[in-house]
Amino acid sequence: MPLFPRFKRPKSQRVAIFDGQDYRKAMLAAAAWLEQHRDAIDRLNVFPVPDGDTGKNMAATMRAATSAVADVTDTNVAVVAQKLSQGALRGARGNSGNILAQILVGIATSLEKNTTFTARDFAAALQNASQAAYNAVVKPVEGTILTVIRESAQAAQTAAERAGCDLTMLMQEVVSHARQTVARTPDLLPILKQAGVVDAGGQGLATIFEGFLRYTRGEQIQAPRIDDLDPQFEEVHRGIVSIDEEFGYEVVFLLHGENLNIPQIREAITAMGGVSTVIAGDGKLVKVHTHTQTPGKILDYGVTLGSLDDINIENLQAQSLRYAAASAAERGAEDTSTARSGPIPQPQVSRTPSRKITQAAAPLGDTGIAVVVAGAGFERVFGSLNVNAIVHGGQTMNPSTQELLDAVNSIPCQHVILLPNNGNIIMSANQVRQLSTKDVRVIPTRTMTQGISAVMAFNYEADFDANIQAMTTAASGIVTIELTRAVRDAQINGLEVHEGNFIGMVDDNLTATASDLFTVLRETLSQIQIAEREVLTLYFGDDQTTETAQATAQQISDWYPDLEVEVVNGGQPFYAYVISVE
């Protein structure tokens, strides 16, 4: 027995109009469907390194969006769409999550004057979403999530122009074209073809569309168990929880007639005790949705106006009690939800505190510094450099825009410098500038070693703009090397990578691979004109000991006697060594 057995809409039934609750529940279903496929999307990493996080980031962004409407009972589409978009903006994680947030913003902007939407309305909203996504990226790249939203929106527009197209037909076309576009991404972006994968962000968006379609069809979507959800994102797990407290009956039907008066029908049903009532349509066809204690009275009234079709009545209280009992029997008391068009999955609400932000040194002047850091050792290094706020995060742990904003707001300075220290966090950091009332500047550091160099260049006696320039210059002068093990076979940049072998990355580019760590290390160092460098700092990860790190440093010194080599405990996950060369 499924945890959330629900009425399944007959596949032949047309869905002409969505109200705000329809849209909310469809997005809840989309979030749950994405959650189920999160790990598979993570594995679509271009480089075979153990830090794929596109699925996690998109799922977390969707949970943040739906969390904003978890308790919303408004049936106005504009209200629900706006709350979804704002939740996504603040909860966006990683580049893919930020682009997804812009897609939801584009939809909300298009629907800002709508109480309901039709297939034509939603097709126009997807067109607007596509434009918003492209506008959010400085240098749009085809073969990514951008291509998928653009071609999906075009497919929606074409479908909506056909006579008789409803929302189910529209979403079928959207999903079909999204899948086709994802399959073509390797032909549009050569690095994907080399890696033997499709674009992860595009796959994530196609999965969201699939969840939306499954809801529209009334198909079952199983909720992920709370134990299966990523602990680092527990603070937003409530984002796919929806609790409909209204008991009684949910009544939905289509009314066919002549000269139907929508305001009069709405007023009459409300007077009969109908709540959460939405009446939409035209003089000949009206969709009625209401919650009531007396469904027979509503139907009798409808019959006096014309003929009824596609009648659906659900006992909200009985379902709520039934789901609660079934869920409690399997895994303890759980929150449950009702949905008309199909089952809405509901994991247990998590009450785990949000990601910790460490308050470090107090500002010495009128400028503060906030940084993103992964690894206890790196945290100690940044702390010793007198940064003012540390956000715990990095690879597979991208902080949300809201968490970065919280860090900025925690610093008692009007001027704040924000260092993302990860290429996948830069978009979220830039969003903070739009949300904060402070003067926030983002130095686009892509690694923690760049961040350290930037902070070391900070001068408390210099003015704000001078510090920004000096820190940016310092960060750009650092070469970062990362050594880890491959998690799968791949062929990239002419290198044949085998699962389990060591690989070397220079500034995010795969440069060497071998079964022996020192072989990879020497090959990687030889490609950065190491003889022209002066200082190398070896940060060892949480899977290395001080002894092994010292031995590695000694080997480097033997190869390059004139190079000053330092060893620091970075404590970073996934990477045996992160090396800074200057």
- The enclosing domain of 495 has a CATH number of 3.30.1180
Domain boundary among 420, 442, 476: 476
Tell me, yes or no, whether 469 lies in a domain: yes
Q: Are residues 459 and 530 in the same domain?
A: no
pLDDT, one tens digit per residue, over 182-228 is 999 999 998 888 888 899 999 999 999 999 999 998 886 655 544 44
Cβ 372 vs Cβ 425: under 8 Å: yes
Q: What is the pLDDT of residues 391-429, one digit of tens each?
A: 988 766 789 999 999 999 999 999 999 999 999 899 999
Selection from 539, 519, 547, 518 nearest residue 581 by Cα? 539
For the stretch 353-392, what's the b/e string if a residue is b when 16 or more beta carbons lie within 10 angstroms of its beta carbon?
A: eebebbebeebeeebbbbbbbbbebbbebbeebebbbbbb
The CATH number linked to 415 is 3.40.50.510
- What pLDDT score was predicted for residue 438? 94
Strand locations in 406-524, DSSP E?
A: 415-419, 439-442, 479-485, 490-492, 495-497, 502-506, 509-514
- Name the β-bridge partners of 338: none
- The phi, psi pair for 31, rounded to 5°, reads -65, -40
Measured CA to CA, the distance from residue 277 to residue 275 in angstroms comes to: 5
What is the SS3 assignment for 515?
coil
The beta-carbon contacts of 269-274 under 8 Å, at least 24 apart in sequence, are 269/298, 269/301, 272/297, 272/298, 272/301, 273/297, 274/298
- Same domain as 220, residue 89: yes
* Same domain assignment for residues 139 and 230: yes
Query: Do 279 and 262 contact (CB within 8 A), yes or no?
Result: yes
**288: domain CATH number?**
3.30.70
Domain boundary among 240, 273, 291: 240
CATH code for the domain of 177: 1.25.40.340
pLDDT of residue 267: 84
Q: Which residues contact 264 (CB under 8 A, 6 or more apart)?
A: none
Question: For residues 343 and 13, what is the distance between their CA atoms, to the nearest angstrom?
Answer: 16
Asked whether residue 128 falls in the same domain as residue 199, the answer is: yes
At 230-257, the pLDDT tens digits run: 444 444 433 333 323 344 677 888 888 8
Question: What pTM did the predictor assign?
Answer: 0.73
Residue 337 phi, psi (nearest 5): -145, 160
Residues of the domain holding 140: 20-240
Domain co-membership, 415 together with 464 = yes
| Contact assessment for residue 70 and residue 83, using Cβ atoms and an 8 Å cutoff | no
Sign, Cα dihedral of 360, 361, 367, 369: negative
Query: Into how many domains does the chain fold?
Result: 4
Residue type, 219: E
Given a contact cutoff of 8 angstroms between Cβ atoms, the answer to whether 420 and 373 are in contact is no
Helix (H) or strand (E) holding 23: helix 20-36
| Residues sharing a CB contact under 8 Å with residue 495, sequence separation 6 or more, in sequence order | 510, 511, 512, 513
Residue 538 is encoded by which pair of tokens?
């070896």
In order along its 582 residues, the chain shows pLDDT tens digits of: 233 333 334 343 578 899 999 999 999 999 999 999 998 998 887 777 766 789 999 999 999 999 999 888 899 999 999 999 999 999 999 889 999 999 999 999 999 999 999 999 999 999 999 999 999 888 889 999 999 999 999 999 999 999 889 999 999 999 999 999 999 999 999 888 888 889 999 999 999 999 999 999 888 665 554 444 444 444 443 333 332 334 467 788 888 888 888 888 888 888 887 776 777 667 787 778 787 878 888 888 888 999 987 787 876 544 444 333 333 333 333 333 333 334 443 333 332 334 567 777 778 789 999 999 988 899 999 989 989 999 988 766 789 999 999 999 999 999 999 999 999 899 999 999 989 999 999 999 999 999 999 999 999 889 999 999 999 999 999 999 999 998 888 788 788 888 889 999 999 888 999 999 999 999 999 988 887 889 999 999 988 999 999 999 999 999 999 999 999 999 988 899 999 998
Q: What percent of the chain has pLDDT over 70?
A: 84
pLDDT of residue 334: 34
Q: How many CB atoms lie within 10 A of CB 154?
A: 17
532 lies in a domain? yes
Identify the pLDDT of residue 363.
Answer: 81
User: Alpha helix locations (H) across 68-118?
Assistant: 77-91, 94-110
Q: Is residue 367 part of a domain?
A: yes
Shared domain for 516 and 535, answered yes or no, is yes
What does the block give as tokens for 559?
Answer: 């190869």
Q: Cα angle at 289 between 283 and 292, to 5 degrees?
A: 130
Does 538 lie in the same domain as 442? no
